[in-house]
Structure 1
């Protein structure tokens, strides 16, 4: 039995379809209505050999930026084991690494993003250190550029790519007013994709619907976009998102 009670609220889940299953199930177990509308699709890298070669090189530090980075990197590695100081930008990424049999050496203590990772003491003095950042194609540059400025040699293993799904939003928009009480988004890209996918017709409804985000950076971006009510979870993992939903409903367990 769930510790939460979402009182029949309709919660839009915008994660990529393969990552939304667990969260949607837990929303239903918590007496909520999970409404799936993936605003991101994850595909393998178009240059897997390049990423595989980078992963097999010797590195002092390897940082994974997302659970998708872990999943696709492990597929490329096959039976090769990583030997390095391992970092995870967030709790969900750390959990994915642990499921693959790895211990986590570096994880932010407060905010789960590049800014939080850069606060860690072991990453302050990086002269002559080789750092590999495992990410999707075209990810943020802040982490790598900051580590380079601290003296590190930085490489990028881009193990997956993200695309915006081609989906007709008409059925969702037709039921929005009666069915959607809260929208969850787990990246700035997902938020922008969702706004684009819903179009001009959907933006007024989206803007007026409470939006749950998972980082301070996303919170700032959502304010710039014009969202009226923005909720901030403490992380991207399911537990943090569910707790934030419960806080919003106003019925703490």
Structure 2
């Protein structure tokens, strides 16, 4: 009986730890050796006043967009029940499921392109003049969703509910992992996360990271990784399933990716 494709492959996950565990478990079940070294840590917003004010007005919005699972977790951690008429917007299936788990009755999400562009292509978001939209996000998030909805005539409010910080305490262990443990691949799920790694690791560790196959879930992140000097960048489908399938396909036929 042949060995599973991912058996003994040493894979670095750089997501925040609480988001990495499900994929890590699946990879370990396939025989991979998984190391979790977050490039970004998620913390509550430094000032909750705007968030608390928006939550008191939830019933007054037509749409509430949540840019990620983190936005769902941090925006709704003290919300007992969402207004039944509120239409929640999610950029992908993971965020959509997180909203349903919190009791959201009406959730819209793209079926194919899991990002702001996919969300903006939904028929329900084409004629939004005069509609009220709140976008829950982290500090310094992308502006495209808000700008496009405003251009279509919507009244848009941006609310920060979490912030991203560099977990500097993780960097020495990650550097040792890169230099001593001969990993086979790294998964990087945001351009900001890659930037934090490149800024925080030693020169030798950065060189080792850039030489690895880097798996990313979006073409935008792939372009950023290549521009940052990563030599082998593999774009997968989104969510955990897409990353897993991308790894499996790559290690089944690595020569096709050279």
| 1:150-229 map, 5 Å | 150-167=152-169, 169-176=171-178, 178-229=181-232
Q: Secondary structure at the match of 1:140?
A: coil
Q: Is contact 1:55–1:157 with CA below 8 Å preserved after alignment?
A: no
Instruction: Answer whether contact 1:167 1:197 (CA < 8 A) is retained.
Output: no
**TM-score normalised according to structure 2 size:** 0.89
| Rounded Cα–Cα distance in structure 2 between residues aligned with 1:101 and 1:81 | 7
> In 1, Cα distance between the equivalents of 2:168 and 2:225?
23
RMSD: 1.7
- Residue 65 (structure 2) aligns with: 63
Q: Which has the higher contact order (CA 8 A, sep 6+)?
A: 1
Deviation of 1:171 (Å): 4.0
Name the TM-score, length of structure 1 as normaliser: 0.91
Shift of residue 18, structure 1, vs aligned partner:
1.8
Query: What is the match of residue 86 of structure 1?
Result: 88
Helix, strand or coil at the partner of 2:158? strand
Cα distance in structure 2, aligned partners of 1:104 and 1:229: 40
The farther-off stretch of 152-161 and 21-30 is: 21-30
Aligned residue in 1 for 2:256 = none
Find runs of 4+ consecutive structure 1 residues off by over 6 angstroms. Answer: none
Unaligned runs of 5+ in 1: none
Q: Residue 104 of structure 2: which of 102, 105, 126 is its match?
A: 102
8 Å CA contact 2:82–2:103 kept in 1: the answer is: no
After superposition, the Cα gap between the structure-2 partners of 1:104 and 1:9, relative to the gap in structure 1 and judged at 3 Å, is farther
What does the per-residue CA deviation read over 1:207-250, in whole Å, with 9 as the maximum and x for residues that have no partner? 11010111121111112112111111211x22221111111111
Distance verdict in 2 for CA 1:217–1:175, change over 3 Å: closer
